[in-house]
Amino acid sequence: MAEEAAGAAAAAIRASLTEAFTPVIAITLGSGCGDVADAIKPVKVINYSDIPGFPVSTVQGHAGQLILGHLAGVPIVGLKGRVHYYEGNPRSMVVPVYTVKLLGAKYLMITNASGSLREEMGPGALVALTDHMNFSGANPLIGPNSDGMGPRFPSLYNAYDPELRSILLDIAKDKDVKVHEGVYVGTSGPSFETPAEIKAYRVLGGDVVGMSTVGEVILARHCDLRVCAISVVVNYAAGMTDQHITHEETLHFTKLAAERVATLVMGWVQRVSNL
């Protein structure tokens, strides 16, 4: 069971520490978070491969490390690297999310890279997510329910916490960082979307599209972690330009956005820790 696996992972992490450490906030240090990771004052860094039950990402740019430390003076746990549905096991993301909850985290900040469905949001734009549409064909809660973590049928109403997003937008205004708001369309990957699919997603109200995040948000809400999410636009979606989409674009534009993402995340962490 996922709950037992997460419990074993949390116990192993605690056993590796020389003194007690309880994170308030968990952060997925994914796309655009290189500068955030560098700003963490680490207490302990553990490779996923050394944590019982943790999956190891096979994707370039996803390191696979759990970082316990302080960011802007706040105790946090960072997940540096994530697994995706297209890597073969829809439930592989369950243990990391449940583990940060068991370690004590109350809030989860998620970052990702996405393709834009809107002409006004080009590569390099930042988008605070307001909701998602799940077109992945998968759900990490399929299978036996982890009753100790959450209900069989969790609500996803306001899954992207309005209060946490409002804090993020206030910080963006204070720091003069432009941030859009939008709905995330989640797909399974690994192939990029077709132009026909992109047209459909736009009609349905999607603003950005990507291959992560949805499963993590579902799991976070299942175990009562409050969620905020930032998306870094790395390309226009298929059919909006004549160019082919590449993973190298993702790496390039997330690096360009890293400083702005760090400014927002560090300010957000300080504010949220006082809620």
> Catalytic: which of 113, 172, 262, 266?
113
Active site residue 252: no
Active site residue 132: no
Q: Is 113 annotated as a binding residue?
A: yes
Domain with residue 35: its CATH number is: 3.40.50.1580
Residue 241: is its pLDDT beyond 80?
yes
pLDDT in tens, 79-131: 998 888 787 777 778 999 999 999 999 999 999 989 999 999 999 999 999 99
Q: pLDDT confidence of 254, banded at 50, 70, 90?
A: confident
pLDDT in tens, 7-47: 999 999 999 999 999 999 999 987 667 788 889 999 999 99
Compute the chain's Rg from CA coordinates.
Answer: 17
Q: Is 163 annotated as a binding residue?
A: no
Spatial separation of the C-alpha atoms in residues 44 and 31, rounded to whole Å: 22
Active site residue 84: yes
> Catalytic: which of 146, 212, 220, 262?
212
> Catalytic: which of 48, 84, 146, 160?
84
Give the DSSP H/E element, type plus range, for residue 53.
Answer: none
Active site residue 212: yes
* 41-47 and 65-71 beta bridge pairing: antiparallel
Number of domains in the chain: 1
Active site residue 188: no
> Catalytic: which of 8, 86, 158, 252?
86
Domain residues for the domain of 11 are 2-273
Query: Does the predicted model carry a pTM greater than 0.75?
Result: yes
DSSP-derived secondary structure letter, 179: -
Q: Is 82 annotated as a binding residue?
A: yes
Cβ(229)–Cβ(213) below 8 Å:
yes
Active site residue 86: yes
Residue 62: is its pLDDT beyond 60?
no
| Mean per-residue pLDDT, 153-181 | 98
Spatial separation of the C-alpha atoms in residues 44 and 6, rounded to whole Å: 18
> Catalytic: which of 3, 26, 31, 257?
31
Active site residue 47: no
**Res 216: pLDDT:** 96
**Res 30: pLDDT:** 75
Active site residue 157: no
Q: Is 84 annotated as a binding residue?
A: yes
Residue 246: is its pLDDT beyond 80?
no
Q: pLDDT confidence of 258, banded at 50, 70, 90?
A: confident
**Res 181: pLDDT:** 99
Tokens in use for 160? Answer: 């992207």
Q: Is 271 annotated as a binding residue?
A: no
Mean pLDDT for all residues in the chain: 92
pLDDT in tens, 172-221: 999 999 999 999 999 999 999 999 999 999 999 999 999 999 999 999 99
**Res 59: pLDDT:** 58
Torsion sign, CA atoms 89, 94, 100, 103: negative
Tokens in use for 252? Answer: 């390039």
